[in-house]
Structure 1
């Protein structure tokens, strides 16, 4: 790992909010591409998924989702449930930011895509009793759209449309359908 990325990870834990946010943006940008240093931070990020600071939990989940494409050992297949758990965080903003980035795990390969889709389909079907479930469903449908846009897999689109068809509330059915227009 180069010294600049090391510095960004240090800054991401700074007391200074602006410095922390800039580091967060820089790490997300760096991890948009495959990197050769994923395992240098992997275990620490897994630990941070349960950090007392909800911002640390959220960032760790987002970084790991981005790093899935840089995971030739396919550790994400083993560790995904730990990342997914943050999508249920007690702080809704933390849960939501984690959920909104989870689709990126599906870019790492066929098995990862199938795993992410399975988790998202299950959550869509079973989140009705969760607070803000309409936002959760919207994020899941958007995640599927993001995966589809990157992978052009018609099965993803069909799964999303099938899920949308199960929604009884016309307002939300229309909102979710709009994501696919």
Structure 2
């Protein structure tokens, strides 16, 4: 693995938040293209999903989602999906939300991954009503469907999102969700 990549990962533990955030952003940008070092960091990222630091859990989930999208030819994400998905239920709302907002990327890896993501997101939309801030969760899910549609042009994704929106009983939230798919 390149020294630069190692340094960026090392910087994530910096006390200087500017260095930490700059390194996070650079890594996310790098991961938007295929990389050859995925499996050099994969297991460490899986472990980080359970760290006590919420930022570390969120970053690990986001990195795994990004890596799964473009750089997971062994399809390890299929074995580790539930570990990543668990972070979308994190006790810290911001950590859970960051993971939920990133998880759609896994659907870019292939049809099996897309079907998995779609089923979990749709089920979560229907069952999150008793969670903290269910309207935010639902909004993030609809945005995820839109992002996945934008990346794949799979009309089925928008159709599912529209069906989910139609299930919403509150007119105010139904309107809000519709804005996410325009």
Please name the residue that 1:93 is paired with.
94
CA distance in structure 2 between the aligned counterparts of 1:180 and 1:21, rounded to whole angstroms? 30
Instruction: Normalising by structure 2, report the TM-score.
Output: 0.98
Instruction: Normalising by structure 1, report the TM-score.
Output: 0.99
TM-superposed CA distance for 1:2, in Å, is 1.1
Please name the residue that 2:155 is paired with.
154
Please name the residue that 2:40 is paired with.
40
Please name the residue that 1:27 is paired with.
27
CA distance in structure 1 between the aligned counterparts of 2:169 and 2:32, rounded to whole angstroms? 37
Unpaired segments ≥5 residues, structure 1: none
Superposition pairs for residues 66-145 of structure 1, below 5 Å?
66-68=66-68, 69-145=70-146
CA distance in structure 2 between the aligned counterparts of 1:48 and 1:178, rounded to whole angstroms? 34
Please name the residue that 2:166 is paired with.
165
* SS of the residue 2:14 aligns to: coil
CA distance in structure 2 between the aligned counterparts of 1:125 and 1:27, rounded to whole angstroms? 33
Residues 36-70 of structure 1, C-alpha deviations (whole Å, 9 max, x = no match): 11000000000000001110000000000000020
Please name the residue that 1:53 is paired with.
53
Runs of 4+ aligned structure 1 residues displaced above 6 Å come to: none
